[in-house]
Amino acid sequence: MSNQLFDAYFTAPAMRAIFCDTGRVQGMLDFEAALARAEARVGLIPAEAVAPIEAACKAELYDYPALAQAIATAGNSAIPLVKALGKRIAASDAEAERYVHLGATSQDAMDSGLVLQLRAAIELIERDLATLADALAAQAERHADTPLAGRTWLQQATPVTLGMKLAGVLGAVTRHRQRLVELKPRLLCLQFGGASGSLAALGEQAWPVAEALAAELRLNLPEQPWHTQRDRLVEFASVLGLIAGSLGKLGRDLSLLMQTEAGEVFEPAAPGKGGSSTMPHKRNPVGAAVLIGAATRAPGLVATMFAAMPQEHERSLGLWHAEWETLPELCCLVSGALQQALLAVPGLEVDAARMRANLELTQGLVLAEAVSIALAQRIGRDAAHHLIEQCCRQAVQQGAHLRAVLGANAEVSAQLSAAELDHLLDAAHYLGQARRWVERAVAEHTQFSR
């Protein structure tokens, strides 16, 4: 049974195509075809054996229900697939069948096939991250000076800008793109060690075959087989977890900004999007839900990959098996989150007037720090902090605007003029380095994208 009901929501179709049954089988068959070409190239098998083997290495030729049933007995997917491959080749060329899978082991086919899938998956992820980074950069620049309340512990703090918030996400995305570039040489490498990793079955031809096979598959040739050294895959899983977490942060903030009580930023509207089965007025953050959902599920999957690292000796029992669906599921989750982010970010609906109104909810209290710091330069930090704290408390008790309380306070008025107070209590004048943070994040993105 497939996951058709939820796939459209949680997974990008292109990623599901990579990690569907056909994608898995084709990855192993690509390994088998490349192995035949490599062994023929070094003279280990007859050149005429290659074409019959290649012709049978097409995933659509195989009976998937039969393979699935055989896997339950065999313990992995390569054993029944190689048998089926051999039978298909033998039906047309019995001589060529002798050279199928020569010198390899099941895990060679499965791991190398997986790496081929991961290469395609990374291409999709990198493309989507680049597109998302462009959208974030554009929005960050557009809203570099759009003030809204900063929030700490879910309470209003001092003003920030929407551009600054989006630049924070952009910076994380750029770092994830850098991480993917850095890990690819380690991850995208051949698995080829034979029964116990020594390639003894191929004798003196082992190394030439390995070099030729890596070249055929366009994979790096590692220092040795990595059947039970899984750090490469776990590193990638960790980066996927980081990407999911950063997208979850975006989704969390967006959903909070969409709350009725805030109403500052919204996912783009679309017919039928975010409605309720019973409440006609609802506009739910359905895209943000995917980002948060992926970020919630990813840590457990990453933990499974870490838990599967201490594999026994030269071939693992059960721990290797735990990886088979875990890493593909991580790829699919991240792909779905990226799709939702790509729908949300370019079309963000921003209510700047509501942001300004929300900044005024506390009647100037969010800018108390600005007044306190200015006053500290004249009467000292402790005295200034204590005085402004008293004024804030008075403003809350009286339901008055902080500006009125400060203006009526003799100690404050003796140090700060009316014009100075007006300036200090204007959010647009207390945005600090917000614009610089945007410029730096965009510059880093631009530099990386060149």
Say if residue 7's pLDDT is above 90: no
Cα separation, 29 vs 204, whole angstroms? 25
Burial state string for 210-244 with b = 16 or more CB within 10 A and e = fewer than 16: bebbbebbebebbeebbbbebebbbbbbbbbbbbb
**Close Cβ partners of 136 (under 8 Å, ≥ 6 residues apart):** 166, 167, 169, 170, 173, 345, 445
Mean pLDDT of 279-307: 89
Q: Region 196-208: what's the mean pLDDT?
A: 96
Q: Which CATH number fits domain 365-424: 1.10.40.30, 1.20.58.1880, 1.10.10.10, 3.40.50.300?
A: 1.10.40.30
Give CA–CA dist 35/286, Å, rounded.
46
Domain boundaries of the chain, sorted by first residue:
4-356, 365-424
State the number of CA atoms in the 13 A half-sphere of 434 facing the CB. Answer: 26
pLDDT, one tens digit per residue, over 106-118 is 999 999 999 999 9
List beta partners, residue 161: 147
Digit-coded pLDDT (tens) for 391-438? 999 999 999 999 999 999 999 999 999 999 999 999 999 999 999 999
The pLDDT of residue 1? 41
Longest dimension (CA), the chain: 103
Alpha helices in 308-362 (DSSP H): 319-323, 326-344, 352-359
Average pLDDT rounded to a whole number, residues 327-351: 96
Phi, then psi, of 117 in degrees rounded to 5: -65, -40
3-state secondary structure string across 29-65: HHHHHHHHHHHHHCCCCCHHHHHHHHHHCCHHHCCHH
Catalytically annotated residues: 276, 315
Query: Which one-letter amino acid corresponds to residue 18?
Result: I
Average pLDDT, the chain: 94
Contact 373, 433 (CB under 8 A): no
The CATH H-level (homologous superfamily) assignment of domain 4-356 is Fumarase/aspartase (Central domain) (1.20.200.10)
Determine what percent of the chain is predicted with pLDDT higher than 90. 93
- What is the Cα 71 distance to its own chain's centre? 31
Q: Please give the C-alpha separations between residue 397 and each of 79, 372, 400, 407, in angstroms, as whole numbers.
A: 77, 19, 8, 16
What is the per-residue burial (b if ≥16 Cβ within 10 Å, else e) of 24-51? Answer: bbbbbbbbbbbbbbbbbbbebbeeebbe
Q: How large is the average pLDDT for residues 152-162?
A: 95
